[in-house]
Amino acid sequence: MKCDKQTMLLYAVTDRAWVGKQTLYEQVESALKGGATCVQLREKHLGDEDFLREAIEIHALCQRYGVPLFINDNVEVAIQCHAEGVHVGQSDMEAAQVRQRVGEDMMIGVSAHTVEEARRAVAHGADCLGVGAVFATSTKTDVDVLPRQTLIDICNAVDVPVVAIGGIHKENILQLKGTGVDGVALVSAIFAADDIESECKELRKLSEQII
């Protein structure tokens, strides 16, 4: 499946930390109603069986809204729930190995922090890149903030969609204008919001201004 730049515009990455008033399912639906163009299901602590059950439910929800679902890290769950994509980090399985497992129809996203990592990921079959952290973030404490010029260089070096991730919120998103990114991946800016749907509507308008 070819990765369409339009689907990368507002990329919602789930985080169970903010489940409470709403279930994760309800949170994702609120994000979709608000204009999220892509969803990544990230579960660091669920067992495979529970992760798969949840992934099947979330995938059916995303399909209702015509939005692709990416599974974070877990290639087997991605295959079994028939997700449109799978996203892996630099310390996970290489894109070439992922491609062997998932075939040609599933999109592969790869995290990249340097031009070299970006080029290698694309050469090995990545359909899109998650690049960051573009701002300081509490979600990933082990990742350094990426210099703006490195983000620009990565966007110029590859011909696949590039999504900026890390510490992005309403107050700083417009700083990404002119970098060449095709979209933004947001975690807490979406899922920690009191009103996820209205927050996504606002973020969608802002993300359209940076492309």
Question: Would you call 170 a catalytic residue per the annotation?
Answer: no
Q: How far apart are CA 121 and CA 117, in angstroms?
A: 6
Q: By three-state DSSP, how is residue 160 classified?
A: coil
111 is catalytic: yes
Q: What is residue 104's three-state secondary structure?
A: coil
| 140 annotated active-site | yes
- How long, in residues, is the chain? 211
Classified as helix, coil or strand, 47 is coil
Cβ atoms of 64 and 93 within 8 Å: the answer is no
Largest pairwise CA distance in the chain? 43
Residues 6+ apart with CB under 8 A from 87: 40, 70, 71, 72, 73, 108, 109, 110, 111, 130
Query: Can you tell me the distance from the alpha carbon of 104 to that of 54, in angstroms, rounded to the nearest whole number?
Result: 24
Helix H or strand E encompassing 130: strand 128-132
Tokens of 154: 């990565």
From 5, 99, 140, 201, the catalytic residue:
140
Catalytic residues: 42, 111, 140
